[in-house]
Amino acid sequence: MTTRHVVALGGSLLRPEESRDREMWLGKLRQLAVHIEGNSRKLAVVVGGGLPAREGIELAKILVNDKDRLDEVGIAATRLNATIIQQILMDIGCDVAPEIPTSTSDAADLLNQHHFVIMGGTVPGHTTDAVAVSLARDCQSSNCVIATNVSHIYDKDPRSSNDAKPFFEMTIDDLSKITGTERLEPGQSAVVDPIAVSIAKNSAINIAVLDGRDLDNLELAIDGKEFDGTIVRI
């Protein structure tokens, strides 16, 4: 059976501040895709909303208070970003599903037919982390890689705490104590979404968290090799 992998790509990875960095990162992403397809592996990618999602939600908040409606704005942004990745890979002839699936079951079915499936969000209340872990479950994969702009899971927010300490390995129960169980607010970000943690625990899925700006490191995690980041085991 062809090996299947699932990766959540944080939306911020698509839009670094320097345009040159964007071109380099997207170019390396295409190289990674070529390696994966060349080795007869399959990859499902769930893309986050990043800046477009946050800006859209803030604009909608002027008149919209309903969390589910605000989440729908964020979901639309994730699907825009997913389409960008899809088209970039299709442009070089990669075997990518021609549609952006809106459910993890549809995405799993498409992965039976193609080497790559690219998708965004699905329903309000579920971040793309939760979607990726759900997709790993539906693809019968025991691992899910979450690539963000932070290198590890920390005991506190490293952006505001200089003494934050990284975890290199931890259990899903340890992670649950850090993330809590409450649904994130629309547009809110976290290293790992609490709902994703719950799904991973119930579905026996290990999570790898790493800095997705380093695509060589991402490939190591996809391959199940030693990587720089945090491994969360069941």
Residue 22 in tokens? 């964007």
> Distance between CA 158 and CA 163 in Å, rounded?
8
CATH class of 4-233: alpha beta
Residue 105 CB: number of other CB atoms within 10 A? Answer: 12
Report in angstroms the alpha-carbon separations of 101 from 1, 2, 74, 148, 215.
23, 21, 16, 22, 24
The pLDDT value recorded for residue 234 is 87
The pLDDT value recorded for residue 92 is 96
Residue 119 CB: number of other CB atoms within 10 A? Answer: 29
Residues 167, 153 contacting (CB under 8 angstroms):
yes
67-124: per-residue pLDDT in tens? 999 999 999 999 999 999 999 999 999 999 999 999 999 999 999 999 999 999 999 9
> Distance between CA 192 and CA 174 in Å, rounded?
12
Q: What is the dihedral of CA 147, 148, 151, 157, to 10 degrees?
A: -140
The pLDDT value recorded for residue 162 is 85
Q: The pTM is what?
A: 0.94
Domain extents for the chain?
A: 4-233
Nearest to 231 by CA among 165, 150, 171: 171
> Distance between CA 106 and CA 8 in Å, rounded?
17
> Distance between CA 219 and CA 212 in Å, rounded?
10
Residues 181, 168 contacting (CB under 8 angstroms):
no
Nearest to 144 by CA among 206, 190, 198: 206
The pLDDT value recorded for residue 187 is 65
> Distance between CA 68 and CA 56 in Å, rounded?
14
Q: Which residues of the chain have pLDDT under 50?
A: none
The 8 Å CB, 24+ separation contacts for 215-218 are: 215/25, 215/28, 215/29, 215/31, 215/32, 218/7, 218/32, 218/145, 218/147
- DSSP three-state, residue 126: coil
Q: What are the counts of helices (DSSP H) followed by strands (DSSP E) for the chain?
A: 8, 9
The pLDDT value recorded for residue 18 is 63
The pLDDT value recorded for residue 67 is 94
> Distance between CA 185 and CA 223 in Å, rounded?
33
- DSSP three-state, residue 184: coil
The pLDDT value recorded for residue 1 is 57
Report in angstroms the alpha-carbon separations of 10 from 7, 65, 171, 225.
10, 25, 22, 21
Report in angstroms the alpha-carbon separations of 51 from 28, 85, 131.
21, 16, 19
